Structures are given as structure tokens and as C-alpha cells.
């Protein structure tokens, strides 16, 4: 009886040891992928379904979508080890890195990705300095291109955030209508939004009085818990099959902003230090919380 119990204990230990060795390998047969600005599984499948198929073909890994309701939910999911890779924006990456030590893997380059300060063409505002004491609208609070970068353009022009002008946050069309009524003096926006308002208001002309640098782009980041070999396989898929992956991404109209772009797979954390400086320009010196949350 004693021999039987000892034999069973040894067999169980061997079995558990074998499972412990095999389980991590099996876990690496798939990756879990999220996108911070796509809400819900249905939207994720519609907008990124072709990309998922192309990525699976390029990596040899199964890709499971993990829907999130926004950037905060994505951070919580990564912290809970529910998601491996996340497509997100530059400002969001800064927070992911500060909280979870997530790292950049592949940059998704967008053509003409920079911000501007825009006024109506007939406006008496001629320079950034002329906006002192005025009301200026930004887009989504905490957005790199709609908030942080425009605020930095103003800071570079000598205007202190929260002191030298009144910052408000309005949807683009609402802000444009308010600006045309002279309720506000200017809007901070990216080039995609500038093109959008020109089409939405074809009988109006707009003038750029301040333009920023080319911005660090959206990027795929990875949890610090993911096997480095899987990270390399993921990165190499973009290096070796970039055109096919880009074609798959841009087959859906929601991803039109990436048309004409590409991928940069040699990316480091310090490439996003410029975004950290933008946080400081709006009074944020700790990077562990999303602005506006």
C-alpha cells in the first residue's frame, strides 16, 4: 500500500511537471489582440477581420480578438493578463508603459500625421500670440493629435495652457460651427480633421496659423509577460509581409487613415519621449493616468 501511494505521488509529480513545461508552449500558439479605439467585438471583426486573417497567415499563430470599451479597459485587461498585443495611440502608449512596462513593437505610420491651429480665413487672428485670452477648442481630451500636440504648438508660441487661453473640448463639427459663429477663436486638430471640415464646409475657407512636428504614430504594444520569441515573430511578420498586412488593414473604410502609410518595426521607448513632453505642457508630470479619466 505504501509503495502504491509513493508510486502514485511520483507519477502525479511527473505529470504536473510535464504539464507545467508544456502549458507555456501551448499558450504561445495564439495571441490576444485588442484595439483601444474600436468598441465591441462586432466592430472589431468588421474593421480588422481582414487584418486578423493576414496576420495569422504571416505569423503562423492564431489571433483572438479581445474587445475593449476604451483605453482604460485595455490597460486593465493587459494588467489581468487577458490581452497580449494592443493597437493604440502615442499618448495611450505612454500610460501603458508607465503602468505596466508595456513596450512598442511595430509603428503604424500615417501620412501627414501632425497637428495645426486653425482659424477661419476671415479671422483677424494672424498668429499664436493673438490667441491670448481667447477660447480655443480641442478634440478628444488626452488625444495626441487633437489635444496634446495642439497645446504644444500654443506653448511653443508662448501661450501657457490653462492660463493664457480657455481650453474647451467639442466635437469637430460642433467646434467648427462655433468657430464660424465667432463663439470660439480657433481649433486644435490634426490634418485628417482639417481635410474633413474643408469637405463638410465647402463654402468656407480655413487658415492654419500654427503647425506642429510630424507626430509619433499609432503603434502596437506588447505586454511585458509575452514570450520574447512571440514578440519577434510578430514584429518580423510586419518586416517580411508589410505590404500584404497594410493592404488587409486598409480594405475597410474605417482604416482609411493608414492608406499610403507603412510600418516601422525598429522602434524604441525613447521615440515617444516627445509625447511625454506634451503631457508636461498640459500640466501632467506623472504618466500613470489617462488625461480626462
pLDDT in tens, 27-59: 458 999 999 999 999 999 999 999 999 999 999
Can you give the CATH number for the domain in which 246 is found?
A: 3.40.190.10
Instruction: Please check whether residues 148 and 176 belong to one and the same domain.
Output: yes
Separation between Cα atoms, residue 203 and residue 206, nearest integer Å: 10
Q: Which residues contact 278 (CB under 8 A, 6 or more apart)?
A: 91, 144, 148, 149, 151, 152
Instruction: Please check whether residues 90 and 21 belong to one and the same domain.
Output: yes
Instruction: Please check whether residues 133 and 174 belong to one and the same domain.
Output: yes
In sign, the C-alpha dihedral spanning 110, 111, 116, 118 is negative
Q: Which of 156, 179, 211 is the last residue of a domain?
A: 211
Q: How many domains does the chain have?
A: 2
| pLDDT per 10-residue tile (average), the chain, 293 residues | 42 42 52 94 95 96 95 96 97 97 96 95 97 96 95 96 96 97 97 94 97 95 97 96 96 92 93 96 92 78
Task: Dump pLDDT digits (tens) for 258-290.
Answer: 999 999 989 999 999 999 999 999 999 999 989
Instruction: Please check whether residues 129 and 106 belong to one and the same domain.
Output: no
Q: Note whether residue 180 is domain-resident.
A: yes
Separation between Cα atoms, residue 125 and residue 186, nearest integer Å: 9
Instruction: Please check whether residues 139 and 253 belong to one and the same domain.
Output: no
Q: Whole-prediction pTM value?
A: 0.84
Q: List helix spans (H) across the chain.
A: 2-27, 41-59, 71-79, 90-100, 149-156, 172-180, 191-200, 228-249, 273-281
Q: Which three cell numbers stand for residue 131?
A: 490667441
Amino acid at each position: 500500500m505504501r509503495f502504491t501511494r509513493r508510486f502514485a505521488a511520483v507519477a502525479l509529480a511527473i505529470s504536473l511537471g510535464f504539464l507545467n513545461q508544456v502549458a507555456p508552449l501551448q499558450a504561445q500558439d495564439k495571441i490576444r489582440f485588442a484595439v483601444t479605439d474600436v468598441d465591441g467585438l462586432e466592430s472589431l471583426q468588421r474593421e480588422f477581420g481582414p487584418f486578423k486573417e493576414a496576420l495569422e497567415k504571416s505569423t503562423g499563430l492564431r489571433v483572438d480578438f479581445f474587445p475593449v470599451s476604451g483605453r482604460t479597459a485595455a490597460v486593465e485587461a493587459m494588467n489581468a493578463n487577458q490581452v497580449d498585443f494592443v493597437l493604440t495611440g502615442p499618448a495611450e502608449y505612454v500610460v501603458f508603459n508607465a503602468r505596466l512596462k508595456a513596450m512598442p513593437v511595430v509603428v503604424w505610420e500615417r501620412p501627414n500625421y501632425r497637428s495645426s491651429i486653425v482659424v477661419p480665413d476671415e479671422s483677424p487672428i494672424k498668429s499664436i500670440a493673438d490667441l491670448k485670452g481667447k477660447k480655443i477648442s480641442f478634440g478628444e481630451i488626452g488625444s495626441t493629435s487633437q489635444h496634446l500636440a495642439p497645446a504644444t504648438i500654443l506653448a511653443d508660441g508662448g501661450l501657457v495652457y490653462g492660463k493664457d487661453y480657455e481650453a474647451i473640448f467639442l466635437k469637430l463639427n460642433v467646434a467648427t460651427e462655433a468657430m464660424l459663429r465667432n463663439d470660439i477663436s480657433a481649433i486644435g486638430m490634426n490634418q485628417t480633421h482639417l481635410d474633413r471640415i474643408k469637405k463638410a464646409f465647402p463654402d468656407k475657407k480655413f487658415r492654419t496659423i500654427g503647425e506642429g512636428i510630424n507626430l509619433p504614430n499609432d503603434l502596437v504594444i506588447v505586454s511585458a509577460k509575452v514570450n520574447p520569441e512571440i514578440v519577434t515573430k510578430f514584429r518580423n511578420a510586419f518586416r517580411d509581409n508589410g505590404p500584404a498586412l497594410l493592404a488587409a488593414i486598409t480594405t475597410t473604410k474605417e482604416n482609411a487613415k493608414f492608406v499610403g502609410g507603412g510600418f516601422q518595426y525598429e522602434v524604441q521607448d525613447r521615440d515617444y519621449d516627445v509625447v511625454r513632453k506634451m503631457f508636461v505642457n498640459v500640466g501632467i508630470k506623472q504618466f500613470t493616468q489617462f488625461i480626462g479619466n
